[in-house]
Amino acid sequence: MNFYNLSIRASVLSLLFLVSIPFAQLQAGIEYRDKSYSDRVQTVLLNPTDDSLGRPVMFLGKLDGLKVSFDILGDEALIYNYTFIHCSHNWEPSRLQPAEFLDGYYEDQINDYRFSLNTLTPYVHHELVFPTQYMQPRLSGNYLLVVYQDRFEDGKVLFTRQFHVVEPLFAIQATVPQYNRLKEYDQTHQQLDVQISVSGFQGNIPTNSFRLNIKQDGRTDNMVIGIAPSQTYPNKLVYEYYNETLFEAGNQWRNFDMKSFKYQSEHISRITEGNDYYTVDLWEDQRRDRKSYVSDIDLQGRKFIKARSDQDTDIEGDYAWVDFSLAWEAPLAGEEMHLIGALTDWQVDAGSRMRYNYQQRRYETSIFLKQGYYNYQYGIKEKGSDKVETALVEGSHWETQHEYFLCLYYRKPGTAYDQLVGTALIAAH
pLDDT tens figures, 112-125: 999 999 999 999 99
The pLDDT tens digits for 22-81 are 454 456 579 999 999 999 999 999 999 999 999 999 999 887 789 999 999 999 999 999
| HEC string for the chain | CCHHHHHHHHHHHHHHHHHCCCHHHHCCCCCCCCEECCCCEEEEEEEECCCCCCCCEEECCCCCCEEEEEEEECCCCCCEEEEEEEECCCCCECCCCHHHHEEECCCEEECEEEECCCCCCCEEEEEEEECECCEEECCCEEEEEEEEECCCCCCCEEEEEEEEEECCCCEEEEECCCCCCCHHHCCCEEECEEEEECCCCCCCCCHHHEEEEEEECCCCCCCEEEECCCEEECCEEEECCCCCCEEECCCCCEEEECCCCCCCCCCEEEEEECCCCEEEEECCECCCCCCCCCCCCCCCCCEEECCCCCCCHHHHCCEEEEEEEEECCCCCCCEEEEEECHHHCCCCCCCCECEEECCCCEEEEEEEEECEEEEEEEEEEECCCCCEECHHHHCCCCCCCEEEEEEEEECCCCCCCCEEEEEEEEEEC
- For residues 303 and 283, membership in a common domain is answered with yes
Q: Note whether 94 and 131 are same-domain residues.
A: yes
Distance CA 215, CA 224 (A): 7
**Which of 141, 166, 191 is the last residue in one of the domains?**
166
Q: Is the per-residue pLDDT at 224 higher than 90?
A: yes
Phi, psi dihedral angles at 393 (to 5 degrees): -100, -50
368-388 b/e (C-beta count within 10 Å ≥ 16 → b):
ebbbbbbbbbbbbbeeeeeeb
User: Where among 166, 188, 211 does a domain terminate?
Assistant: 166
What span, in angstroms and rounded, lies between the C-alpha atoms of 159 and 152? 11
Between the CA of residue 47 and those of 19, 130, 144, 424, what are the distances in Å?
32, 11, 14, 16
- Residue 54, judged by CB atoms within 10 A of its CB (0-12, 13-18, 19+), counts as middle
Q: Are residues 299 and 359 in the same domain?
A: yes
Determine the Cα angle at 214 with ends 210 and 218, to 5°.
145
Same domain? 58 vs 146? yes
Q: For the ranges 30-44, 131-145, 200-214, 303-317, which has the lowest average pLDDT?
A: 200-214
Does residue 129 share a domain with residue 237?
no
Is the pLDDT at 7 greater than 60? The verdict is no
Q: Give pLDDT, residue 331.
A: 97
pLDDT at 22: 44
Side-chain-facing half-sphere of 19: CA atoms under 13 Å: 6
Judge whether 403 and 300 are in contact, CB under 8 Å: yes
Across 370-384, average pLDDT: 96
| CB distance 294 to 366 below 8 Å | no
- State yes or no: pLDDT of 354 exceeds 80: yes
Q: Of 42, 9, 147, 149, give the one whose Cα is nearest residue 84.
A: 147
The answer to whether the peptide bond before residue 131 is cis (omega within 30 degrees of 0) is yes
The gap between the terminal CA atoms of the chain, to the nearest Å, is 49
- Are 314 and 381 part of one and the same domain? yes
Q: Are residues 92 and 14 in the same domain?
A: yes
Residue 363: band (very low, low, confident or very high) from pLDDT cuts 50, 70, 90: very high
How far is 181 from 193, CA to CA, in rounded Å? Answer: 11
Looking up residue 26, the CATH number of its domain turns out to be 2.60.40
- Strands 189-191 and 246-248 turn out to be antiparallel
Number of domains in the chain: 3
Mean pLDDT of the 322-330 span? 98
Range of the domain at 38: 3-166
State how far the alpha carbon of 403 is from the alpha carbons of 9, 102, 193, in Å: 42, 31, 14
Average pLDDT over residues 378-383: 95
Q: Are residues 10 and 157 in the same domain?
A: yes
What are the φ and ψ backbone dihedral angles of 60, each rounded to 5 degrees? -60, 130
Does 196 share its domain with 236? yes
260 contacts 308 by C-beta, under 8 angstroms = yes
* 350 and 412 belong to one structural domain: no
High-pLDDT (> 70) share of the chain, %: 92
Residue-level pLDDT at 206: 74
**Cα–Cα distance between 299 and 52 in angstroms, integer?**
12
What is the mean pLDDT of the segment spanning 131-152?
Answer: 94
Checking if the pLDDT of 253 tops 60, the result is yes
Tens digit of each residue's pLDDT (9 = 90 or more) over 278-301: 999 999 999 999 999 999 999 999
- Region 362-380: what's the mean pLDDT? 98
Residue where a domain terminates, one of 166, 187, 210: 166
Q: Amino acid letter at 305?
A: I
Residues 182 and 277 grouped into a single domain: no
Out of 172-176, 183-187, 200-204, pick the least confident: 200-204
* pLDDT confidence of residue 203: 63
What pLDDT score does 229 carry?
95
Is there a single domain that holds both residue 19 and residue 159? Answer: yes
